[in-house]
Amino acid sequence: MTELIDRLDGELFSPDSPGYDAVRRPVNVAFQGRRPKYVVRCRSVADVVAALAFARATSERLVPRGGGHCFAGRSSTDGIVLDLSGLDGISVAADGTATIGAGVRLGQLYAALHAEGRTIPAGCGPTVGIAGLTLGGGIGLLGRRYGLTCDHLVGAQVVLADGSVVDCDEDHEPELFWGLRGAGGGQFGVVTVLRFATVPEPTATYLVARLPITAPEELVATWQTWAPDAPDDLTVKLVVAAEPGRPLELTLIGASLLAEGPTRSLLREFAEPSALEVRRMPYSLLKEAFDDPRGLPAIRLRSEYFSRSMTPGTVAALLGALDGGDGPRELNLHAMGGAYGRVAEDATAFAHRNERFLLEHVGAVTDPWVDVSWSIAHPEGSGRVYPNFPDPALDDWATAYHGGNYARLQAIKRAYDPDRFFDFPQAI
C-alpha cells in the first residue's frame, strides 16, 4: 500500500482514514453499506495505471466509479473503488468537439457546455456520471431528436487491465470503440477521457402535465401509440404513481424543442391536461428544472423494452397491481422512436434501436410488487433491457442487454481483457 501511495497524484482512503465514510458511499443508497478496503481518488491517468497494478499484485477486486448510480451496485465493492471524480476536465475545441474527463457529472457538464453554446443529448440527474451513462447508451430529453449519448462519442482513452493506455475511435482500435458505445460500463477497461461531437444548445420548453384520472387505462393505451410516433422535437414520459391513501396520479413529464403554442397543441392531441405547466428556457436550465432536491431514495427498479403496445388486459392488470402497497410505486413509460431508431442495431454495441418504449417498475427495495408488476408486463415485452438499468434477476441477460451483438462483444472481451480482470455478475 505504501508503494501505491507514493505513486499517486490523488488520494488513497482506507477504513481508518479521515473522510473515508464520505468517499466510500455511492449515490445509490441501496449500496451505501458496502465498505471497500480502499478508495483511490484518481487525479490522473497515471493514478489509474498505478491502482490497476496494485489491484493485480494484491488480487483485490477493483471497480471504477463515475457517478455511483448503478442499480446493480457495480460501482461498489469490498475491494478497491477507483473513484474517477478527480478526472474532471472539460474543454471544447473550435469545431465543437468536447473532451471530457471520465469523472465529470452531468450537472457540471451541462453548465460548462452552456458557456460555449453547446450541449450533448444525455440524462437529467446532475450527479450521474457521463462515463457510465455513455457506455450503456444514454437516453434523455434530446434523444428523440439527436440520438443516444453514445451516438455522439467520437473517441475515448482507456486504461486496459494490463496497464496499457490506448486511444480509440473509428480508425484506431475500432472494435474497442464499437464496444464502448452501448455495452455497459466496466466491461473492457477503465475509460478516463471521452470525446464528443456536441450540438448547438437549443432553447427548450419544459412541460409537466397532470392528467385526469377518470380513464387511466385509456390514457396508458393512448400514450403507447402517440408518444413514440410524436415529432422528434417532443419527448415525454408517462408516470403512473401510487401512494397509500392517495388517488392514482398520472403525469406527463418532458420537454419540447418547439415553442409553447405548438407544444400545447401536440399535448392536446393526447389528452386535455387537468393542469399544465410549460416554460421556455435554455436546455441546460431545463435539466436543472428536473432535478429532485430530495436526492435518490432507496429503490428497486426492473424494466423492459416494448416493440409493440401492451394489450388492454395487461394494462388493466398493471394498474390494478399498483394498489395495496405500504409505500410509493411507479410505472414509468419512456418514449423511444425518432433518432434512436435511425441507427442500425449493429452499428454500435447498443442493440435496442427498434423499440417503441421502455417500461420501468419502481418501488421500495423490499416491495415484492416490483417483481409482480414486471411479470405481468413481461410476456408482451421484447425481452430487451437497457444496459444502464441492469437487472440481477434476469435469466437470459446476454440477450436482454446485447441482443445479436453479444458474440461480437465476447470477441472484444477476449481481445482486451483475456484474463477477465474486469469481471462481475452479468459481465460480457
Complete DSSP assignment for 328-394:
-EEEEEEE--GGGGGS-TTTSS---TT--EEEEEEEETT-THHHHHHHHHGGGS-S---TTS--TT-
pLDDT value of position 30: 85
> Which H or E element spans position 153?
strand 153-159
Determine the Cα–Cα distance for residues 292 and 289; give it in Å rounded to an integer: 8
pLDDT band at 286 (very low <50, low <70, confident <90, very high): confident
Determine the Cα–Cα distance for residues 178 and 345; give it in Å rounded to an integer: 12
Instruction: Count CA atoms closer than 13 A to 28's CA, side-chain side.
Output: 23
Give yes or no for a contact between 81 and 24, defined as CB atoms under 8 angstroms apart. Answer: yes
Nearest alpha-carbon partner for 385 in 175, 147, 71 = 71
Q: Output the CA–CA distances (angstroms, integers) from residue 149 to 128, 133, 152, 337, in the order listed.
A: 13, 8, 6, 15
pLDDT of 135 > 70? The answer is: yes
pLDDT value of position 81: 97
pLDDT value of position 40: 97
Q: Helix (H) and strand (E) counts for the chain?
A: 14, 18
Cell of 233: 422535437
Angle at which helices 312-321 and 216-226 cross, to 10°? 120
pLDDT of 6 > 70? The answer is: no
Mean pLDDT, residues 270-289: 90
Q: Output the CA–CA distances (angstroms, integers) from residue 330 to 36, 40, 362, in the order listed.
A: 32, 36, 5
User: Class of the 203-402 domain?
Assistant: alpha beta
pLDDT value of position 213: 86
pLDDT of 203 > 60? The answer is: yes
Pairing of strands 299-306, 357-364: antiparallel
Mean pLDDT, residues 172-180: 98
Determine the Cα–Cα distance for residues 173 and 158; give it in Å rounded to an integer: 11
Mean pLDDT, residues 140-163: 98
Provide the residue ranges of all domains of the chain, joining segments of one domain with +: 7-83, 90-201+403-416, 203-402
Residue 105 DSSP symbol:
B
Give yes or no for a contact between 111 and 102, defined as CB atoms under 8 angstroms apart. Answer: no
Instruction: Determine how many CB atoms are found less than 10 A away from the CB of residue 182.
Output: 32
pLDDT band at 297 (very low <50, low <70, confident <90, very high): low
pLDDT band at 289 (very low <50, low <70, confident <90, very high): confident
Mean pLDDT, residues 216-230: 97
Determine the Cα–Cα distance for residues 236 and 242; give it in Å rounded to an integer: 19
Determine the Cα–Cα distance for residues 417 and 427; give it in Å rounded to an integer: 11
Q: Is the pTM of this model over 0.85?
A: yes
pLDDT band at 292 (very low <50, low <70, confident <90, very high): low
Mean pLDDT, residues 387-413: 97
pLDDT value of position 187: 97
pLDDT value of position 46: 97
pLDDT of 261 > 90? The answer is: yes
7-83: CATH topology is: 3.30.43
Instruction: Determine how many CB atoms are found less than 10 A away from the CB of residue 66.
Output: 29
Determine the Cα–Cα distance for residues 425 and 412; give it in Å rounded to an integer: 18
Angle of CA points 170, 171, 177, to nearest 5°: 40
Determine the Cα–Cα distance for residues 130 and 123; give it in Å rounded to an integer: 9
pLDDT value of position 136: 98
Which backbone phi and psi does 207 adopt, to 5 degrees? -145, 140
Give yes or no for a contact between 427 and 416, defined as CB atoms under 8 angstroms apart. Answer: no
Mean pLDDT, residues 97-108: 97
Determine the Cα–Cα distance for residues 106 and 112; give it in Å rounded to an integer: 10
Angle of CA points 194, 133, 337, to nearest 5°: 115
pLDDT band at 295 (very low <50, low <70, confident <90, very high): low
Mean pLDDT, residues 142-147: 98
Which CATH architecture is the domain 90-201+403-416 placed in?
Answer: 2-Layer Sandwich (3.30)
Give yes or no for a contact between 83 and 38, defined as CB atoms under 8 angstroms apart. Answer: no
